[in-house]
Amino acid sequence: MRSKKFNVALAGATGAVGNQMITCLEERDFPVNKIKLLASNRSKGRELIFRNRPFKVEELTENSFEGMDIALFSAGGGTSQHFAPHAAKAGCVVVDNSSAWRMDPDVPLVVPEVNPHAVAGYTRKGIVANPNCSTIQMVVALNPIHQKFRIKRVVVSTYQAVSGTGVKAMDELSDQTRAIMNFSDPELKVYPHRIAFNCLPHIDVFQENGYTKEEMKMLNETRKIMEDDSIQVTATTVRVPVFYGHSESVNIETEAPISAEDVKSMLAEAPGVELVDDPSQNVYPMPIDSAGQDLTYVGRIREDFTIPNGINMWIVADNIRKGAATNTVQIAEILAQDYL
């Protein structure tokens, strides 16, 4: 990385992802000159630590970005929709973790292991979008396979952690678990049904076609990131009572003949991937092992004997790290290194 340092704003610094962004900037030694921590007026004055120093959280306003070079946003779609253009107008490049800008044709949608070149398109709106957490870990594992064997169709079911919904959802899982263990009634605040000791086949809002928005994101974002509109993705996204780490059962069908060995040897070399696949020793990826890590873990790789060129696999990553904060900071690193 060059010696230039950058003024960095974090919008949503008090949230689950924002907090992890602070950690990622520290761990990856991002060249920060000044840092500005922004959240809603509820958090104004709260202290957060960056590089062992306390910083007061400021209220996010339209004028927050004067003199800032890069803004990392994770404060919800509506907030990004409103404030990102103000940041861009102030000459501050936004890397946005919400869904607000992802499908805008003038905003690149980037997973650094897959399409780092797309960052160049940031000049059009001054915004780069970070994909949905479930999509990121899937394309990190599938892109190398697609490049060689051409994936025609993906059937995916997800098992998504509550941290993806935010801090309040993590509190809800803790509170409900405690209530149930104490024989009292669990309160519902965030999810429409109990999440403790349950699974909800419902992430984001239902659409007219019967799929949820989260499920359609997995199709649309995969096509945009992998730059191939011919790939079919059909998804069922499920919230499970896990705090950190999304898991995915993924079935792919390729144009070219493919074997489990082909996939294993490819993924063993793939950037950002770790192969965890020794079922004889009960070794396979699990969310508890992914928590706090930046890699995408792949295992249970086996041929689908019901179709000519099919593979099944199990993909796990920390949704708050690689699925959000780490990927966002990686994009900022590309901006810092190559463009700003």
Whether 133 is a known active-site residue: answer yes
Asked whether position 23 contacts ligand A2P by CB under 6 A, the answer is no
Binding flag, residue 143, ligand A2P (CB under 6 A)? no
Of 77-106, binders to ligand A2P (CB under 6 A) are 79
Q: How far is the CB of 44 from ligand A2P (least distance, A)?
A: 8
- Cβ proximity to ligand A2P, 40 vs 249, nearer residue: 40
The DSSP symbol for 338 reads I
Does 40 bind ligand A2P (CB under 6 A)? Our answer is yes
Report how far apart, in Å, the C-alpha atoms of 172 and of each of 159, 168, 193 are.
18, 6, 11
Choose one: 26-34, 97-105, 165-173, 305-313; the region binding ligand A2P (CB under 6 A): 165-173
Q: Is 246 a catalytic residue?
A: yes
Q: Using CB under 6 A, pick the residue from 20, 43, 220, 328 that binds ligand A2P.
A: 43
| Span of 8-16, 181-189, 191-199, 256-264 interacting with ligand A2P by CB under 6 A | 8-16
Which residue in 15, 186, 245, 272 binds ligand A2P (CB under 6 A)? 15
Token pair 């873990």 in the structure block, residue: 297
- By CB under 6 A, is residue 18 in contact with ligand A2P? yes
Query: DSSP secondary-structure letter at 185?
Result: P
Taken in order 115, 118, 122, 124, is the CA torsion positive or negative? negative
Stretch that binds ligand A2P, among 96-104, 124-132, 162-170, 251-259 (CB under 6 A): 162-170
269: exposed, middle or buried (Cβ count in 10 Å: 0-12, 13-18, 19+): exposed
What's the closest the beta carbon of residue 74 comes to ligand A2P, in angstroms? 6
**Chosen residue from 12, 144, 245, 299 binding ligand A2P by CB under 6 A:** 12
User: Which has the closest alpha carbon to 166: 200, 203, 117?
Assistant: 203
Q: Which residues of 48-84 are buried (b: 16+ CB within 10 A; e: fewer)?
A: bebeeeebebbebeeebbeebbbbbbbbbeebbeebb
Q: Which of residues 210-229 bind ligand A2P (CB under 6 A)?
A: none
CA atoms within 13 A on the CB side of 89: 8
Q: Count residues binding ligand A2P (CB under 6 A).
A: 17
Which one of 92, 133, 146, 193 is the catalytic residue? 133
Write down the number of H helices and E strands in the chain: 8, 14
CB 164 → ligand A2P: shortest distance, Å? 9
The Cα-based distances of 181 to 167, 171, 242 in angstroms read 21, 15, 17
| Residue showing tokens 């104004």 | 44
Binding site for ligand A2P (CB under 6 A): 12-16, 18, 39-40, 42-43, 60, 75-76, 79, 166-168
Q: Which amino acids are annotated catalytic?
A: 133, 246
